[in-house]
C-alpha cells in the first residue's frame, strides 16, 4: 500500500516538476498563473491535469487548440512516480522517506533543466544542499553529510580545473575578483597541510581582494602544479592531505558560488575553454551531502561512464553533465555503499 501511495504521490509531484522545469529557468513564477497551454494560453481544467492519463486521453494534444504536447510531460510524471515508489520500497515508512522523495524530486528537476538550458539553478542546488545537511543532522549523520558535501564539491572543482588547465595549454585563466578558481586552488594547496588552514588562506585572499579592490592571486598553473608535491610532502600523509585539500577547495567553491549567486558576474565570452561547468560543482556538493563521499564516488563513476557511452552514441561534442550526475546520485543514494563494498571485495580489500 505504501509503494502504491508513493507512486501516486510521485505522479502528482512530477506534474508540478513539469511546471518548475518549464518556468524556473525563464524566471517565471511557479505558482501563478495557473497551468495553461503554452501554445494558446488556455487555462487547463482539472480533467486536463491528471498525470499521464490526461496526456493519453487527449492523445498528446491540447484540447483547445490541438497543439502537440511534448511526451516529456508524462515521462517526467511517470519517472517521478517510479522513483518515489522505489524509495518507499527500499526505505519503508520512516523519517528518511519524505527526505528521499524531496531529494529525488530535486534530481529530476535539475536533470531536465540542464538538458534544456545547460544550467543548474542555484535555488535548486543550494536548496538541495541545505536540505541534505538538515536531513543529515536530523537523521544522525550530520558530520558525514557536511564532510561529504565539501569533499564531493572539492573533487569536482579540482577535476574541472585540471581539465581546463590542459585545455588552455597550461596558461593561467582569467581571475574572478574577489573570489574565483584561483582562491579555490590556493585553498586546496594550503589545505594539504590542514583543511582549516586551506579555508583560512582562501578566505584571507578573498578578503584582501575585496578590501583593496584588486586581484591578488597565485597563478593556476603554479598552485595546481604544486598541489601534487604538497600532498607528498604533507606530514599528514598523502591520503589525509588529499582529504584536506578537497575539503578546503570544496568549502571555498561552495562559499564563492553562493557569493556569486547574489552578485552575478558579467557575462563572459565562450573563448575560455572549460572542462566542467560550475553548476556541476554545486550539484556535486548537494549529492555529497545526501550520499556521503564514498558513495558519491561510485555515483560519479556511473555518471562519467553513462556520459561517455551516450556521448559516443549521439556523437555530440557538448553534453550537459548534470543529468548523468543526477543518475549517479540517485544510484549512489540507494546502492552506493553496496557498490563500494563490492568493489573492495573485487580488488581483495
Per-residue pLDDT of the chain in tens (349 residues, 90 and over written 9): 899 999 999 999 999 999 999 999 988 888 887 777 776 767 777 766 788 988 888 877 877 777 788 899 999 999 999 999 999 999 999 999 999 999 999 999 999 999 999 999 999 999 999 999 999 999 999 999 999 999 999 999 999 999 999 988 999 988 888 999 999 999 999 999 999 999 999 999 999 999 988 778 999 999 999 999 999 999 999 999 999 999 999 999 999 999 998 886 554 444 566 667 789 999 999 999 999 999 999 999 999 998 888 777 776 666 789 999 999 999 999 999 999 998 888 887 7
Which grid coordinates are listed for 279? 553548476
Q: What letters, b where the CB count within 10 A reaches 16 and e where it falls short, cover 280-303? A: bbbbbbbbbbbbbbbbbbbbbebb
Beta bridge partners, 61, equal 68
Q: Is 61 left (phi over 0), alpha (psi -120 to 50) or beta?
A: beta
Q: What is the model's pLDDT at position 268?
A: 47
Peptide bond into 33 cis (omega under 30): yes
| Rounded-to-integer distance, Cα 55 and Cα 3, Å | 23
Q: What is the model's pLDDT at position 33?
A: 77
In this structure, are residues 152 and 208 in contact, taking their beta carbons and an 8 Å threshold? no
| Rounded-to-integer distance, Cα 16 and Cα 13, Å | 5
Closest CA to 172 of 223, 138, 130, 120: 223
Closest CA to 191 of 256, 253, 252, 249: 249
Tell me phi and psi for residue 29, to 5 degrees: -70, 140
Beta bridge partners, 68, equal 61
Q: For residue 103, how many C-alpha atoms fall within 13 Å in the half-sphere facing its CB?
A: 30
Give the number of residues written for the chain.
349
In this structure, are residues 5 and 87 in contact, taking their beta carbons and an 8 Å threshold? no
In eight-state DSSP terms, residue 212 is: H
In this structure, are residues 274 and 288 in contact, taking their beta carbons and an 8 Å threshold? no
Q: What is the model's pLDDT at position 150?
A: 98
| Rounded-to-integer distance, Cα 157 and Cα 104, Å | 23
pTM listed for this prediction: 0.92
In this structure, are residues 84 and 13 in contact, taking their beta carbons and an 8 Å threshold? yes
For the chain, what are the domain ranges?
A: 1-93, 95-140+284-349, 169-272
Closest CA to 122 of 267, 257, 16: 257
Q: What is the model's pLDDT at position 40?
A: 73
| Rounded-to-integer distance, Cα 219 and Cα 175, Å | 9
- Run of H or E including 129: helix 122-138
Amino acid at each position: 500500500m505504501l509503494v502504491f501511495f508513493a507512486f501516486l504521490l510521485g505522479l502528482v509531484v512530477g506534474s508540478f516538476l513539469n511546471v518548475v522545469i518549464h518556468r524556473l529557468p525563464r524566471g517565471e513564477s511557479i505558482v501563478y498563473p495557473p497551468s495553461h497551454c503554452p501554445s494558446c494560453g488556455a487555462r487547463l481544467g482539472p480533467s486536463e491535469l491528471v498525470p499521464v492519463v490526461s496526456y493519453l486521453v487527449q492523445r498528446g494534444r491540447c484540447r483547445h487548440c490541438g497543439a502537440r504536447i511534448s511526451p516529456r510531460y508524462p515521462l517526467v510524471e511517470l519517472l517521478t512516480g517510479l522513483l518515489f515508489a522505489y524509495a518507499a520500497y527500499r526505505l519503508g515508512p520512516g523519517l528518511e522517506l519524505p527526505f528521499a522523495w524531496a531529494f529525488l524530486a530535486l534530481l529530476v528537476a535539475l536533470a531536465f533543466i540542464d538538458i534544456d538550458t545547460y544550467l543548474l539553478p542555484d535555488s535548486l542546488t543550494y536548496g538541495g544542499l541545505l536540505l541534505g545537511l538538515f536531513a543529515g543532522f536530523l537523521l544522525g549523520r550530520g558530520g558525514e553529510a557536511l564532510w561529504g558535501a565539501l569533499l564531493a564539491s572539492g573533487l569536482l572543482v579540482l577535476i574541472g580545473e585540471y581539465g581546463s588547465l590542459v585545455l588552455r595549454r597550461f596558461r593561467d585563466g582569467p581571475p574572478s575578483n574577489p573570489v574565483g578558481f584561483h582562491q579555490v586552488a590556493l585553498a586546496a594547496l594550503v589545505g594539504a597541510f590542514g583543511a582549516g588552514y586551506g579555508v583560512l588562506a582562501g578566505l584571507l585572499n578573498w578578503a584582501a581582494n575585496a578590501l583593496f579592490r584588486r586581484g591578488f592571486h597565485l597563478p593556476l598553473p603554479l598552485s595546481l602544479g604544486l598541489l601534487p608535491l604538497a600532498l607528498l610532502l604533507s606530514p599528514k600523509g598523502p591520503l589525509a592531505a588529499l582529504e584536506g585539500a578537497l575539503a578546503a577547495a570544496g568549502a571555498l567553491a561552495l562559499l564563492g558560488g553562493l557569493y556569486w549567486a547574489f552578485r552575478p558576474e558579467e557575462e563572459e565570452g565562450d573563448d575560455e575553454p572549460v572542462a566542467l561547468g560550475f553548476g556541476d560543482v554545486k550539484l556535486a556538493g548537494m549529492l555529497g551531502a545526501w550520499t556521503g563521499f564514498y558513495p558519491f564516488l561510485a555515483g560519479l563513476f556511473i555518471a562519467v561512464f553513462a556520459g561517455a557511452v551516450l556521448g559516443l552514441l549521439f556523437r555530440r561534442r557538448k553534453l550537459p553533465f548534470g543529468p548523468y550526475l543526477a543518475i549517479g546520485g540517485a544510484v549512489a543514494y540507494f546502492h552506493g555503499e553496496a557498490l563500494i563494498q563490492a568493489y573492495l571485495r573485487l580488488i581483495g580489500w
